[in-house]
Structure 1
């Protein structure tokens, strides 16, 4: 073999060794990269599972809080309805008492109109009758208005207290 052929043979075998080393190194690099990718994918999957558990726990906590708040609001509404029923019953009793007093005032006004035998007393009696009738009418109107105002006050008070209890029940968990 000629010296040039031997040189080509040496260069060819050195080149084959370099190519073989390059292929082995590339294979090792690819394997290391795939192992690293697998580790990162496992970490990402673990992180996703952890986040899913956290989301489920937060959802459960929020759902329980929502149910607690709704139960508290329902109880406040129930209490307000019971208070309203009680106030209506009290109003009916007050209306009945007012009716009795108004009847007595009307009877007093009618009794003041009884004509005495003395003509001078009859003139005084007519004035007293008119005054008693005016006072009876004014008393009746004032009593009716007071009853209306008492009903409105009771309703507003019950609603205000229910609102306050509702707000307090919502804020109870936040403190």
Structure 2
């Protein structure tokens, strides 16, 4: 073999070694990039799973808070209804007493002046008794409506507060 052939083979070996080193570097670089990509994908998936878990926990907390608010509002409505029933009973006793007063004023007398005064007193007692009954009934209605509105407002406020925490 001539010198030129040996040089060509030597040059070819040098080029082949550079080419091999280049390809090895590329394969190492691809492996590193693949590993980095896999780590990034794994981290992304982990963050996604943690985000989903956190979202489920937050939704669970909100649902529990809403249920707690609903139960408390129901308890408050029960108490208000019991108080209203008690007030209705007291109002009925008061109306009964007013009716007894009307009956007591409506006694018979022999003096015509006393009879006229008695009739006037009876009418006045009846008007007052009727006025008392109407006022008491209306006050009861208003108190019930106020209690319902107050309880609903407090429940709404508590739900909102639980939602934004």
The TM-score with structure 2 as length reference comes to 0.84
Structure possessing the higher radius of gyration over alpha carbons: 1
| Deviation of 1:19 (Å) | 6.0
Moved more, 14-23 or 162-171: 14-23
How many pairs are equivalent?
164
| Deviation of 1:153 (Å) | 1.5
Q: Which segments of structure 1 move beyond 3 Å, counting only runs of 4 or more? A: 12-28
Question: Deviation string for 1:92-116 (max 9, x for gaps)?
Answer: 1111110111111122123222231
Give, in whole Å, the separation in 2 of the partners of 1:16 and 1:92. 112
Please tell me the root mean square deviation across aligned C-alpha atoms, in Å. Answer: 2.4
Moved more, 134-143 or 72-81: 72-81
Give, in whole Å, the separation in 2 of the partners of 1:141 and 1:29. 102
| Deviation of 1:144 (Å) | 0.4
Corresponding residue for 1:58? 51
Please state if 1:70 is matched with 2:63. yes
Give, in whole Å, the separation in 1 of the partners of 2:32 and 2:101. 102
Question: Deviation string for 1:10-33 (max 9, x for gaps)?
Answer: 5x8877766665555444433322
Corresponding residue for 1:3? none
Corresponding residue for 1:105? 98
| Deviation of 1:140 (Å) | 0.4
Segments of 5+ residues of structure 1 without an aligned counterpart are 1-5
Segments of 5+ residues of structure 2 without an aligned counterpart are none
| Deviation of 1:62 (Å) | 2.3
Larger RCO: 1 or 2 (CA < 8 Å, sep 6+): 2
Give, in whole Å, the separation in 1 of the partners of 2:41 and 2:88. 69
Give, in whole Å, the separation in 1 of the partners of 2:6 and 2:127. 135
